[in-house]
Structure 1
Amino acid sequence: MPGGRLTQQDRRQIALGLADNLPYAEIARRLDRPTSTVTREVMRNGGPAGYRADLAHRATEQRAHRRRQAAPPGVEAAPQPYGRDAEAVREFTETLTTVLMASGLPKMMARVLACLYTTDSGSLTASELAQRLQVSPASISKAITFLENLELVRRQRDERRRDRYVVDDDLWYQSVIRSARANDEFAEAARQGVAVLRPGTPAAARLQNAARFLDFVSESLLRAAEQAREVLYTPTEPTEPTEPSPSGRR
C-alpha cells in the first residue's frame, strides 16, 4: 500500500520502468510512492543498470533479518529525542544518503554527511561517527578527509580538545560559491579553446556557447547566493518541541 514497505510486485514494476527508461519520478507516480523511495531502492540494489526485482527483494529481507539479529534480545533501540519515531528517522537517513550518492558522493562519504545532518547538534567526533555508523575509524577518517576537501564539513575543537566535524548553514553558501567558481574555470578554458580551434568552426562554436551559458549561470548563482544568504542567518520563529507524555498523549 502507499507509504508502506515495497512489495515484490512493486519492485517488479520498478524493474519494468527502468527497462523502459522511465525517470524515477514517473515510476514513483505509477506506484503512488515518493520519488525518494524509488531512488533509494534502485541505488541500494545495483543502480539503474543492475537492478533486479527478485534480487532486490531478497536483499531487503536479508538486511531486515540482519538488523533483527544484531539487536540483543530484550534490548530496544535507543529512544529518540522529541518523541521521534526511531524507524522513521533511520529510513529518512537512508533516503538522504541515497540523495547524496545520486549527487555524486561515494557511499561512505554520503553516510557520514547524512549522519551529521540528522543530528540536532550538527557535529560529531570521529569516534561518535564510527559508533553510529558501525564502521572502522579508518573509514571515518577517509570519508572526513574527502568531505573536508570538498568543504562539505568543517573541523572544530571542543572544550576537551577533541576534533568535532560540523555541518552548518554557511556550508550551503560556500557550496554555491564553489560551484560558481568551477563554472568560471570551465568557461575560461572554453574561451581559450575558441581561439585554438578558430572562431566560426563547429567545435569553437560549441565551446563559445558553453562559455556564454556558464557565464550567465555563474552570475545568476552569485547574485542569488548573496540575496539568499540572509535566509541562512535569519533565525526562524522559536518553537518549543513537545515531548510526548508517558501515556503517549500530548
Structure 2
Amino acid sequence: MDARKGRLMPDGRLTLEDRERIAQGLADGIGFAEISRRLGRPTSTISREVNRNGGAGAYRPDQAHEATRQRARRQRPKTIDPPPPAARTREAEDKLTDVLVASGLTRMSARVLACLCTTHSGGLAAADLVQRLRVSPASISKAVAELEAMNLIGRERDQRRRRDRYIVDQDIWYRSLLASARFNTSLAEVAHENAEALGRSTPAGARMDAMSEFFEHVGRETIAVAERYRHLLTR
C-alpha cells in the first residue's frame, strides 16, 4: 500500500491515515487505550508515537509522519563493503598474534608464527618475513630460532631459490601439546623429588606432593587428548 495513505505499512509502521485517526481521537478527548483499540495497535505504540511528537496537546499527523520518515532515513544502516583479501589476512594475523602472545610467546615470535599460519603456502623465507612484517633480519632470526626450539615451525630448503623456507604444518599444534605435556611431566618429577626431600608429612612436602600428582595427571591426559584428536589436523 501507499506509504502515506495505506492502512498498514508492510513492516507494521503507522501510516499517515493512522496518525490522522490518532489526532482525531486526541481532539475528541479519547485516551491512548481506546485509540489503540480502534487502530488494533498496542497502547505503548500510541503513547510513544504521541509523546515523541509533541504530546497530546501539540500532536500534528503530517509533522509526525515526516519526522518518522526522517528518523528512518538517518537510522538506515550503511552498506559496508567487505575488506579486501589482504586486509582480511592482516586482521586474522593480528588476532592470532594476540592469542599467541597471551599463551607465552614473545610478540616477535608470535607475529612470525601467525604470519606463517595465515599464509596460503604455509611457508616463507626469512627475506619474505622481513618484508611482510617490516622488521629487521636479526629480529626474524631470533624469532625463528625460538620457534624451532619449541618445534612450532620447521625448515626446508628451497632449491630453486637456494635459501631456506620456514614452514608450518598441520602437526604444529599436536607437537605444541606434546611439548606442554613434557613440561608438565618435568614439573611433576621435580615436585615429587622435593616432596621426598622435604618430607611428605610437612606442609611444604605435602604441597609438593599434591603438585606432583596434579601435573602428572595433567601431562598424561594432555598426551591422550592430543593422540585422540590428532586426526582432525590432517583430515
Q: TM-score range by the shorter chain?
A: 0.5 to 0.7
Provide the residue aligned with 2:181 in structure 1: 180
CA distance in 1, matches of 2:104, 2:215: 20
CA distance in 1, matches of 2:222, 2:202: 30
Q: CA deviation at 1:213?
A: 0.8
CA distance in 2, matches of 1:193, 1:120: 48
Provide the residue aligned with 1:120 in structure 2: 120
Provide the residue aligned with 1:203 in structure 2: 204
Give the letter for the 1:152 counterpart.
L
Instruction: Please show how residues 41-190 of structure 1 align to structure 2 within 5 Å.
Output: 85-160=85-160, 161-190=162-191
Q: CA deviation at 1:152?
A: 1.1
TM-score normalized by structure 1? 0.58
CA contact (8 A) 2:150 2:179 kept: no
Runs of 4+ in 1 over 6 A off after TM superposition: none
* SS of aligned partner of 1:175: helix
Q: CA deviation at 1:189?
A: 0.6
CA distance in 2, matches of 1:209, 1:166: 40
Q: CA deviation at 1:84?
A: 5.1
Instruction: Report which structure shows greater RCO (CA 8 Å, sep ≥6).
Output: 1
Provide the residue aligned with 2:223 in structure 1: 222
Q: CA deviation at 1:133?
A: 0.8
Provide the residue aligned with 2:56 in structure 1: none
* SS of aligned partner of 1:97: helix
Provide the residue aligned with 1:237 in structure 2: none
**1:41-100 superposed Cα distances (whole Å, 9 cap, x missing partner):** xxxxxxxxxxxxxxxxxxxxxxxxxxxxxxxxxxxxxxxxxx953323222211211111
CA contact (8 A) 2:130 2:140 kept: yes
* SS of aligned partner of 1:183: helix
* SS of aligned partner of 2:201: coil
List runs of 5+ in structure 1 lacking aligned partners. 1-82, 235-250
CA RMSD of aligned residues (A): 1.5
Give the letter for the 2:150 counterpart.
L
Q: CA deviation at 1:166?
A: 0.5
Q: CA deviation at 1:179?
A: 0.9
CA distance in 2, matches of 1:159, 1:233: 26
Provide the residue aligned with 1:191 in structure 2: 192
Give the letter for the 1:206 counterpart.
R
Give the letter for the 1:155 counterpart.
R
**1:143-174 superposed Cα distances (whole Å, 9 cap, x missing partner):** 11111111111111123232000111111111
CA distance in 1, matches of 2:204, 2:141: 43
Q: Work out the number of aligned pairs and report it.
A: 152
Could you say which structure has the larger radius of gyration?
A: 2
List runs of 5+ in structure 2 lacking aligned partners. 1-82
* SS of aligned partner of 2:120: coil
Give the letter for the 1:117 counterpart.
C
* SS of aligned partner of 1:124: strand
TM-score normalized by structure 2? 0.62
